[in-house]
Homo-oligomer: A and B are copies of this chain.
């Protein structure tokens, strides 16, 4: 059985996203990230390739674990400077019709009352193409800059997130009944107060008595994305997420993660395929295998190993600057470091990797796998990944931007279409309808559906 893959592009409002140092490549344009035209051109390219959505990562902090400060992150543009992702979307929406947008926002950035209005606004302005990547954690430097003395403990974060989502669900689903907006010019009634309900939320962290300030948007609740592989994170995703984003290093690991997520969804009273699971993936595709390998070699000349170690240090909490570059796996002292490093040696875990080799390797594609080859070669591997693991699709990161995305659209997409593994037209409707084909709104048994006002 083959089905259409879901394919997103994965980016960030920054110079360097996952492939550190590649901003130095002569054809890379990511230093134009402050320019609207860069983004509207990208959106047009992606829609030309029928890409399902553009997923925009974010951090509200800096990677300052490596060396104990932000010097390496700033020097090598390791996800800093980084700008607000939300504002990119309205401009990109204005030049596209179908492309979806997933915006990352942490439940720790902003109170849920104004945040819910932001997302409703986004869903209105995109005609129902908005998604929210729910983030529960952020870098410790972000917590400090929000006036918190220390980062909130992991489990507490999910308790806050639960309450935060409850507020959002009530505002999006329960506050305005379907017939609340009358817009009757003759009778002079815009909205019917009897159909607009105060949510009277009094939770452990948030108290919101009033009604939503925005009228319902096409999807009401934006499509809910989540990344997170911890046990508590998986339970949270199983209860809330419609799409889950993972970055498994190997097919074996991914297969287990996919099975675990689907089982967790079932345990939460949903169907296993109520959740679309997307794997982070970097592909370097060219007309031939040789051309693609040459491209990889060319790209490697610009990769920043220190930039990669800076990101890895932030992700793992381990300061990789403490190690000599030629130190190999066997010689590191702790199991935690050992297992963290192993996660980054996905290509060949049986081999002895030095820190420098790991860094060089991860400077292309970050913590996700990388596929290199002709359209047929890459499509073969993607099919294997999908068929072996049961994953629903991929979030493709760029190496050289937007060149990586343009190659995907021009070379890889047609190959996947020829194999019947990718759609030839966009489906009509909202992003949720496109992804699930069951309507614009969250459906039962999702917990938010039960809140909807009649």
Contacts and interface: CB of A to CB of B under 8 A. Distances in A.
Interface of A: 13, 15-16, 21, 23-24, 26, 31, 34-37, 40, 60-62, 69-71, 74-77, 80-84, 86-91, 93-95, 109-111, 113-114, 117-118, 120-122, 124-125, 141, 144-147, 183, 185-186, 188-193, 196, 206-211, 213-215, 217, 304
Contact of A71 (B86, B118, B193): B193
A109 B114 contact: yes
Contact of A214 (B81, B94, B118): B81
A145 B84 contact: no
A21 B70 contact: no
Contact of A304 (B23, B141, B188): B188
Given A81-B214, A114-B110, A215-B81, A193 B90 contact: no
Contacts of A215: 34, 81
A147 B213 contact: no
A443 B109 CA distance: 32
Most buried by B among A35, A125, A206: A125
Contact of A110 (B13, B23, B110): B110
Tallying the copies of this chain within the complex gives 2
A294 B254 CA distance: 71
27 contacts: A35-B124, A37-B94, A60-B114, A61-B213, A62-B210, A69-B193, A74-B196, A81-B191, A81-B214, A83-B214, A84-B117, A84-B118, A86-B86, A87-B90, A87-B125, A91-B93, A91-B94, A91-B125, A94-B95, A109-B110, A109-B114, A110-B111, A110-B114, A144-B209, A144-B210, A145-B209, A147-B206
B81 A213 contact: yes
A189 B21 CA distance: 9
Nearest to A218: B34
Given A31-B183, A193-B74, A60 B90 contact: no
A26 B192 CA distance: 21
B213 A80 contact: yes
Nearest to A83: B121
B109 A211 contact: no
Contact of A210 (B91, B122, B145): B145
B94 A40 contact: yes
Given A40-B94, A110-B110, A121 B13 contact: yes
Contact of A84 (B121, B189, B206): B121
A93 B304 CA distance: 35
A206 B145 CA distance: 9
Contacts of A214: 81-83
Nearest to A189: B75
Given A70-B193, A110-B110, A87 B209 contact: no
Given A125-B91, A190-B77, A191-B74, A111 B147 contact: yes
Contacts of A62: 210-211, 213
A141 B211 CA distance: 10
Contacts of A114: 60, 84, 109-110, 146
Given A90-B36, A121-B13, A77 B191 contact: yes
A219 to B, nearest CB: 13
Contacts of A117: 60, 83-84
A138 B447 CA distance: 33
Contacts of A186: 24
